[in-house]
Amino acid sequence: MNNSELIPVSALNTYVYCSRRFYLEHNRGMFEDNPHTIEGRTAHRVVDDRSKEGKEINKNDVIHRRSVYFSSENFGIIGKLDLLEEKENEIYPVEYKKGKAPNKNYAPWLNDQIQLCAQALLMQENGLKLPDKAYLYYVGSKKRVEIQITENLILETHRVIAACRLIAKSDVLPPLAENRNKCFGCSLNAICLPEEEETLKGKKINAKVIIPMSLDGDILYVDHIGAYVSLSDGNIKITKPESDDIVTASLEKVREIIICGPVQATTQVIHECLKKNIPIHYMNFHGKQLGVSTPFFNYHGILREAQWKAHFDDKICLDLAKITVSSKMANMKTLMMRYTRDERTEDDVDFFDKIKNLNKKIDPVKDMDSLRGYEGMAARIYFECFERYIKLDKRAFFYFKERNRRPPKDPVNALLSFGYSMLVKDCIGAAIRVGFDPFCGYYHSMKYGRPSLSLDVMEFFRQPIVDSVVLSSINNGIFKDKDFHQYQGVCYLNEKGRKKFLIQYEMRKKDLVTHPKFHYRMSYERTIELQYRLLGKFLLNDIDEYQGFYIR
Ligand code: SF4
């Protein structure tokens, strides 16, 4: 048995909390932080002093050894003991916990007792005497609680070890936690999606919201030529050349940094962002993504394995692609209907019908080329009438005859192109966050530099997010001709125009939308992430059904 097959004693704690959580973390390598896990890590920093690791410290005849590793092939477990204390010829483990000690009328959680008992068993397996007591130290109240290592606790710990070893060898997803209140505090709830799973399995109609409706933190855009991004007292400091202007942003409140064009970021900023799992996206001024710095893909290997398997399965790819194209067409039609709500002509109705009829042809499609053909037809119809949704008095400058790109030739196409680039960037970010490889898709073919999966997932978000932002900001008079840079038949947003667009775009991402299947309200940016999570559950066979995202 090698070390990777041994079960960490902390995982026994996880199993007692919820067997599914143990499976997701241990078997599938999935992990997410939430305030509880961060608080737990912070609590351990008190005792995890690297300089004291393994060293013996003798103070007032009490000997301390910190971060002591033990393993047992016999039991199949491994563990790091926070603190091994020796006092009056007795040696026992002390486990650090976040939060406050329980009231004296209540016993500590069973999962914590099991973890401590497993540490005691490891001591015995490694030649020390089995202690008859051990301690939990609660950082929040700076208080120790004694745990008796009784026969019953040892028996229960052996039962838990055996159950964990069984699950570790299995590929069957355990059931959801019986006590569903646990899901609210569980850091894996956005991966496990218990409410959504039960809704998709038809066990309930409305899913309770147990995952946050919006993503925490802000996105920091830096697109001023020559700007310098550095660290100062743990905050981001941005200085502009030939200017005394200094902008600061708290790193704790930043979720992502977007650097556009020639902006310098120091190595300290990059290191700190890598440590804090804050991606830095590098883009050119036209919104083309050049790269992103993120920590290594530590987790979610099994998800990527499932993704690659699906990529090579023609049937799965075609099924997923049909779902994608069908919901994209439905969203095109819904957006068209929204913009003609007050005044609808026969031509408008004719356009809706054409898209609706094309959508009906998707289901029987047998190959990807035919599907792409129908998608192309729908896009032509959609963009043929796109100008109709721009107010008449705006059309002199914001005219639209056809979709053109690379480079865009007119202001509307410049806005659409920049918006789609931002959406690709967000879809790549969400793919990485969830654990997918953004370059391995099912509909867009594989091509050097093409983030196929992110392009697949963004298809049905183009209309409600980007097209909607472009149309509403033009109609509301947000953009003026001076926001664009036009030369030799090419048109781009200038710095001022980009700033205006990004404000509108970020506001749209935060707008709440009712989810078509789960009926709860959630921000668009969170919905993009949820879509990846559901795709992951489908590819891992946790759910039988995958759906696109529909607006109403
Ligand atoms: S969300 Fe609930 S069922 Fe899922 S792993 Fe967490 S506690 Fe278990």
Q: Does residue 183 line the site of ligand 1, with CB under 6 A?
A: yes
The residue type at 234: G
pLDDT at position 139: 86
- Please compute the mean of the pLDDT values over residues 326-332 and round it to a whole number: 93
């609706």: which residue's tokens? 356
pLDDT at 524 over 70: yes
Helix or strand run (H / E) with residue 56: strand 56-59
Going by alpha carbons, the residue nearest to atom 2 of ligand 1 is: 183
2-6: long-range pairs with CB below 8 Å, 24+: 3/71, 3/78, 5/76, 5/168, 6/71, 6/72, 6/73, 6/76, 6/77, 6/78
Q: Does residue 28 line the site of ligand 1, with CB under 6 A?
A: no
In ligand 1, which atom is closest to the CA atom of 210? 1
pLDDT at position 483: 92
Q: Does residue 20 line the site of ligand 1, with CB under 6 A?
A: yes
**62 CA distance to ligand 1 middle (Å):** 41
The residue type at 134: A
Tokens of 282: 């590098």
């905050």: which residue's tokens? 235
Q: Does residue 18 line the site of ligand 1, with CB under 6 A?
A: yes
24-27: long-range pairs with CB below 8 Å, 24+: 24/188, 24/191, 24/192, 25/188, 26/164, 26/167, 26/168, 27/167, 27/168, 27/170, 27/171, 27/302
**209 CA distance to ligand 1 middle (Å):** 14
Tokens of 529: 């992430």
- Please compute the mean of the pLDDT values over residues 416-441 and round it to a whole number: 92
């030529």: which residue's tokens? 225
Going by alpha carbons, the residue nearest to atom 5 of ligand 1 is: 21
pLDDT over 70 percentage in the chain: 94
Average pLDDT over all residues of the chain: 88
Q: Does residue 194 line the site of ligand 1, with CB under 6 A?
A: yes
Going by alpha carbons, the residue nearest to atom 7 of ligand 1 is: 183
Q: 39-48, 78-87, 168-177: which range is least confident on average?
A: 39-48
Helix or strand run (H / E) with residue 14: helix 9-17
**273 CA distance to ligand 1 middle (Å):** 29
* Each residue's pLDDT tens digit, 210-230: 777 766 778 888 888 888 998
Say how many C-beta atoms besides its own lie within 10 A of residue 171's C-beta.
11
Q: Label residue 106 by pLDDT band (50, 70, 90).
A: confident
* Each residue's pLDDT tens digit, 46-97: 666 656 666 677 777 788 888 889 999 999 999 988 889 888 889 999 998 8
Q: If you average pLDDT over each of 288-292, 295-299, 321-325, which comes out highest? A: 321-325
Q: Which of 107, 112, 109, 118 is nearest to 157 (CA)?
A: 118
pLDDT at position 455: 95
Q: Label residue 402 by pLDDT band (50, 70, 90).
A: confident
